[in-house]
Amino acid sequence: MEANKTYPDPSAIREELVQKYPAKVAKKRTKSIIINDPEAVPEVQANVRTVPGIITQRGCSYAGCKGVVLGPTRDIVNITHGPIGCSFYSWLTRRNQTKPETDADANFITYCFSTDMQEENIVFGGEKKLKVAIQEAYDLFHPKSIAIFSTCPVGLIGDDVHAAAREMKEKLGDCNVFGFSCEGYRGVSQSAGHHIANNGVFKHMVGRNNEKKEGKFRLNLLGEYNIGGDAFEIERIFKKCGITLVSSFSGNSTVGQLENAHMADLNVIMCHRSINYMGEMMETKYGIPWMKINFVGAESSAKSLRRIAQYFGDEELKARVEEVIAEELPKVKAVIDEIRPRTEGKTAMLFVGGSRAHHYQDLFTELGMTTVAAGYEFAHRDDYEGREVLPGIKIDADSKNIEELKVEADPELYKPRKSEAELEALKAEGLEINGYEGMMKQMMKKSMVVDDISHYESEKLIEIYKPDIFCAGIKEKYVVQKMGVPLKQLHSYDYGGPYTGFEGAVNFYRDIDRMVNNPVWKLIKAPWETAAAEMDGALEATYTEA
Amino acid sequence: MKHAKTATQNACKLCNPLGACLAFRGIEKCVPFLHGSQGCATYIRRYLISHYKEPIDIASSNFNEETAVFGGSHNLKLGLKNVTQQYMPEVIGIATTCLSETIGDDVKGILREYMKESISRTGEPILIHASTPSYQGSHIDGFHAAVRAAVETLAEKGAPHNLVNLFPNMVSPADLRYLQEILDDFNLPSMILPDYSKTLDGGPWAEYHRIPPGGTPAAAIATSGSAIGSIEFGSTLEAAKSAAGWLESKFGVPRYHLPLPIGIRESDRFFGLLEAISQKPRPEKYDDERRRLVDAYSDGHKYVFDKTAIVYGEEDLVISMTAFLQEIGIRPVLCASGGKSGLMRKKLEALVPDLDGEGIKVRDGVDFADIEDEAALLRPDFLIGNSKGYTMSRKSGIPLIRIGFPIHDRFGGQRHHHLGYRGTLELFDRIVNTVIETRQDDSEIGYTYM
């Protein structure tokens, strides 16, 4: 699908984006601003430090660890060890939803615990206060697990959160206490925090419960955080298909599920960036293969279900999946038929996440919209170019500082779910196991790919491309809308959602229709329209100030 | 009651640098800059934007592990240079974080060096630096520190002129516009600092702006040293920490220190002060506003009288709200703040002398777990404070009236008035309507006339 607009030469755009920067910065940024070729994917500089003073949308290691990966599990008490800000800012802000089975089941998601470090804790150390805080949380709730998250000063003053956790775990007896060294200055972005979280969950949680859950087709859903109820929709579809969800990492999950995850027979990965480490480690230790799927987009959801059925190789499941798709898709199609005449040919830009900028392109394609530019906030090269580039990625100082767990096959629990031959056969059928092709192969030629786009660059791109919709987060939302371009938040969904699966796709189409065809935009004259108006006085008369 | 807690559960305060960034947003052509990890800038932007629904850029010196160990001088200088080139700001407002404060970066020294190194360059911005470690105080302290730092950096002694400084405290953009209108109506030339009435509540842009238009110009702040006086709101704000206090000690500009003017009595006090300074009577427009407010009090007294409330938020807001509630016959059974200046009770007593006799409990340094425990016992008719009381409200079924900051689960928080006759009337209407709504909802019959 080609957009019904013409654009300047992408190389000229690239020049323009960096010309304001000092020479050294310009040189560095040029490597992250790429003109796409899906046939021969060019290299994108990614996961490198943001230059100081370039306003980035990236967060920190703590945000990735506590906010993203550990935050959604409802029955862990998360204690932020540090001054008050970090815990406050990560207090329910990601809109992870959770649904305890009964009112009596533990749900600590609405709580925000902090050691609220004061100056004396910085000077004399905060471990003692941390231990008291753990005891208090335990006395209050008797949770199964307590996790501790380090903020910036913790590492510097030498507090050992891991030692404190070990001591308290022993003391409490029936509570699994563990810590994370996810100080905000570690690593390049929140991506470092994801990795740290993966390591911690793998070390301290996965493998603690060997009970085999009932069900013929048992899988874990990795990298799905149940924002806006996304996981609920996927759960609904799995249930309908007769697929058993052992554990989700980590939307709508519980400690019990995570501890039992190694008993599943397949890991399916939504957000490759934040959770691929878990897939790899579980494959090595337990012999569970992983597969990249995508439940964003109706067609992608259908495709993902078919892939899951193909993996299990069961005719009954395959038939059931087809039935479900046949039941779900017509409803979706009806809505597309209604909306598409209004969205066809429009353009979108997506600068968000570590997977979302890829996944959501599918929904836009279904609406007949073209993605003219996209990029991630915190992804790595493999998320852009595909995992085949992994061996060639240089390990820099920032990545070196994040622990790589040494994982070996578990002497008792390692059991390859598929033999080498079976895996080869599946591969021959076109089923990619333990692989991800990245975003760029799916994007059109000459589209722009920009990693860690700065505020300044996104404004420039909007000025040049004048997209019909821009997808990012709340930090970009209001500046983009000031220019008369609607911004769809793909972190919080503008408080909407779910957007996954079939029902989610319908929600998304309707939301996008409401945004791009909204009458309010007629009241806002974009800056480029002002320039036109200055040349043509007649236009000025039609302009109404909002 | 539970034993004293060590951990904070559901905090009723935000961190120091957030307040500084907000204040810097109220200076014209200023880019706020956090010296620390990029995550702080991201979190704080995210949080401020959820309330104001306006773009808020905050730069950062993006510490990494090396910076954390060897110091942030290089990153700070590089960051300032990059911000200058991209944004061409007139001012960069630098606030520290717990990270740079913990490692003990000498920010003042680094900035001196930077200025020396950049002396040959033109168009260099003015650098304002506020020390705002998040392990001290709360967001309100950062706010005042930034305002004071701006004045310390920019104020000059000049020939005395008819200017009045107004340091309004952390109030809404709507409040700021109203305060400006009042000063204009008194024909008093004025300098309000900070003034984010436009930067955080502006219109669409007909042209591109690197930095949103609006804010107090640096040149105006410079004149604050020769003003005829500074009005400063905030009961617990001490001269030693405030901008007006500094101007008084440095340049002899008299400081007129008032509580936030909420309610008739405190608004009268504010208008009385303006009459004294301007030597003019209150413009008739405000007589009308005051009359309408008194009329509303009399029309609505039957709904609110003898009701009880829990009020929470920043200490100064809580103090003035308490005085107002008491004025309309509502008993604030608990006045709570996450802040802990140590002055809250004393300052509240200045407005409501017999706290115990009135059954008013005052607690500072609390979190929402504490407030929730109290609410379960006190069962007030409503809660009044920011959005963070929502969970408590939902659980207890006690209605919440949203005021102050942050309001992220309702629309238009930046446009709420709180101050003066106009703001008090708006608050009064909202309180009365909440009481009526509750009665209506609870009514088994479902009256249409209440």
Shared domain check, B361 and B237: no
B11 occurs within a structural domain: no
Shared domain check, B274 and B364: no
Shared domain check, B318 and B298: yes
* Angstroms from B129 CA to nearest CA on chain A: 16
* Residue A94 is a catalytic residue: yes
Output the domain CATH number for residue A117: 3.40.50.1980
The answer to whether B78 contacts A53, with C-beta atoms less than 8 Å apart, is yes
Residue B210: name the closest of A455, A295, A415 by CA.
A455
- Whether complex ipTM tops 0.90: yes
Shared domain check, B114 and B81: yes
Shared domain check, B338 and B254: no
Tally A–B CB contacts below 8 A.
241
A166 occurs within a structural domain: yes
**Rounded to two decimals, what is the model's pTM?**
0.96
Question: Closest residue of A to B15, CA-based?
Answer: A85
Q: In whole angstroms, what is the distance from residue B207 CA to residue B389 CA?
A: 39
Average pLDDT over residues B271-291: 98
* Residue A60 is a catalytic residue: yes
Predicted pLDDT of residue B1: 43
Predicted pLDDT of residue B276: 98
A66 occurs within a structural domain: yes
A101 occurs within a structural domain: yes
Predicted pLDDT of residue B253: 97
Shared domain check, B225 and B346: no
Residue A275: name the closest of A287, A255, A292 by CA.
A292
Looking at B230, B251, B278, the residue that finishes a domain is B278
Q: In whole angstroms, what is the distance from residue A315 CA to residue B403 CA?
A: 60
A125 occurs within a structural domain: yes
Among A86, A397, A524, the residue with its CB nearest the CB of B204 is: A524
A534 occurs within a structural domain: no
Contacts of residue A192, defined as CB under 8 A and 6 or more positions apart, other chains included, come to A61, A64, A182, A186, A398, A399, A401, A402
Please tell me if residue B62 touches chain A, with a CB cutoff of 8 Å: yes
Predicted pLDDT of residue A20: 82
B159 occurs within a structural domain: no
A178 occurs within a structural domain: yes
Predicted pLDDT of residue B59: 97
- Computed over its alpha carbons, how large is the radius of gyration of chain B? 22
Q: Please give the residue range of the domain that contains residue B251.
A: 164-278
List A14, A94, A166, A236, catalytic entry: A94
Please tell me if residue B373 touches chain A, with a CB cutoff of 8 Å: no
Predicted pLDDT of residue A4: 54
In chain B, how many domains are there? 3
Please tell me if residue A7 touches chain B, with a CB cutoff of 8 Å: no
pLDDT grade for B3, boundaries at 50, 70 and 90 = low
Q: In whole angstroms, what is the distance from residue B50 CA to residue B413 CA?
A: 10
Is pLDDT above 60 for B104? yes
Average pLDDT over residues B6-10: 95
B352-366 residue pLDDT tens: 999 999 999 999 999
Predicted pLDDT of residue A535: 46
A281 occurs within a structural domain: no
Q: In whole angstroms, what is the distance from residue A225 CA to residue A380 CA?
A: 20
A140 occurs within a structural domain: yes
Query: What does chain A come to in residues?
Result: 546
Q: Please give the residue range of the domain that contains residue A124.
A: 61-184
Shared domain check, B30 and B110: yes
B450 occurs within a structural domain: no
Is pLDDT above 50 for B178? yes
* Angstroms from B171 CA to nearest CA on chain A: 20
Looking at B133, B154, B175, the residue that finishes a domain is B154
B448 occurs within a structural domain: no
The answer to whether A83 contacts B37, with C-beta atoms less than 8 Å apart, is no
The answer to whether A527 contacts B136, with C-beta atoms less than 8 Å apart, is no
Please tell me if residue B35 touches chain A, with a CB cutoff of 8 Å: no
With a cut of 50, list the residues of chain A below it in pLDDT. 1, 534-546
Predicted pLDDT of residue B58: 97
In chain A, how many domains are there? 1
Among B9, B17, B81, the residue with its CB nearest the CB of A113 is: B9
Looking at B238, B253, B278, the residue that finishes a domain is B278
* Residue A421 is a catalytic residue: no
Shared domain check, B234 and B134: no
Shared domain check, B146 and B41: yes
Output the domain CATH number for residue B249: 3.40.50.1980
Per CB-CB distance under 8 Å, the chain A contacts of B82 are 21-22, 25, 51-54
* Angstroms from A183 CA to nearest CA on chain B: 9
Shared domain check, B98 and B26: yes
The answer to whether A51 contacts B85, with C-beta atoms less than 8 Å apart, is no
Question: Closest residue of B to A531, CA-based?
Answer: B207
Shared domain check, B147 and B26: yes
* Residue A262 is a catalytic residue: no
Sign of dihedral through CA atoms A152, A154, A157, A163? negative
Predicted pLDDT of residue B55: 94
Predicted pLDDT of residue A400: 83
Please tell me if residue A58 touches chain B, with a CB cutoff of 8 Å: yes
Q: Which two tokens stand for residue A253?
A: 């999950």
Among A162-166, A396-400, B167-171, B386-390, name the one with the lowest average pLDDT.
Answer: A396-400
Is pLDDT above 60 for B282? yes
Predicted pLDDT of residue B291: 98
Shared domain check, B371 and B328: yes
